[in-house]
Structure 1
Amino acid sequence: MTYDPAPPTRHLRVRLDRGHTVLEFHGEIDIVAALEITPYLDAVTGHPEPQIVIDLRPVEFFDCSGLRLLYRARSRVLDRGGRLHLVCTRPLTLRVLKVTGLARLLPPSASLDAALGQPETTSGTL
């Protein structure tokens, strides 16, 4: 896989860690942030068998636009035979993930080490 890092933006940092592309979301993840993040998300999830981690720990606010980003990433990664892991520790964001059922499809881990140490659940359904 060719690695084309995203330029630093207000809402996204991208790095490699243990063979995974880590997308670290920052600040308020709303429609404006989603418009900024989507091109980079699509680029890294467009490769065969992408290995992706989305880290939501630096997120301060997360609305339905953020949920759409996660659903989009999950769908694209699974369609290409890859793996997607989620890292999240903020209680309000965890609550949104649980209430919407996304936590069953994409179980959040408390750290990057924990996320990379467990297999992804790929067979969950809503």
Structure 2
Amino acid sequence: MTPEADDRIPGPSERTAADSSGAVPPTVGQYARTYTSGPFTVVEVTGEIDLATAGFLSEHLDAATSRPGPDVLVDLRQVDFFDCSGLRELCRADTRARERGGRLRLVSDTPRLHRLLLASGLLRRFPPLAGIPE
């Protein structure tokens, strides 16, 4: 019995098709998706981000910060849980964006995430926006 087309895992050629900017888009997963909104690359994160799932977020952040001058918004409004593994990935992506002459900002209206950023000393580095700017 062979797997149906909807059941199979995409092969390497399907996962690595570059877009017009030359950046390789990450696979779409249950924890994050990436899209463009005006001048921004938006990484929309959902569910729980912890040690087991931070790698999925990392794929999207790596792709979003891979080109020169990236302007990345990480939308965390749909996140149920976020721990230090996610913070590590945000810091790594922020450093990468700055090295390329760009920036990475967070979108969050959740007091829980604001407290996490404050407790970790990262609130000044990542002052959250309430929504995606126009």
Q: With the length of structure 1 as denominator, give the TM-score of the two structures.
A: 0.83
8 Å Cα contact 1:30/1:65 also seen in 2: yes
Identity, % of aligned pairs? 42
- Among 17, 34, 59, the alignment partner of 1:14 is 34
Partner residue in 2 for 1:120:
none
| AA at the equivalent of 1:97 | L
Q: Report the CA distance between 1:35 and its aligned residue.
A: 1.4
8 Å Cα contact 2:72/2:104 also seen in 1: yes
| AA at the equivalent of 1:56 | L
Counterpart Cα distance in 2 of 1:22 and 1:88? 13
The answer to which structure has the higher helix fraction is 1
Matched, 1:58 2:85: no
- Among 22, 39, 49, the alignment partner of 2:69 is 49
Q: Secondary structure at the match of 1:103?
A: coil
Count of residue pairs the alignment pairs up: 114
After superposition, residues 33-48 of structure 1 pair within 5 angstroms as 33-48=53-68
Matched, 1:90 2:110: yes
Give RMSD over aligned pairs. Answer: 1.5
Structure 2 unaligned blocks of 5 or more: 1-20
| AA at the equivalent of 1:84 | L
Runs of 4+ in structure 1 over 6 Å off:
none
Counterpart Cα distance in 1 of 2:109 and 2:43? 15
Matched, 1:78 2:66: no
| AA at the equivalent of 2:43 | L
8 Å Cα contact 1:5/1:15 also seen in 2: no
Q: With the length of structure 2 as denominator, give the TM-score of the two structures.
A: 0.78
After superposition, residues 20-39 of structure 1 pair within 5 angstroms as 20-39=40-59
Counterpart Cα distance in 2 of 1:99 and 1:106? 13
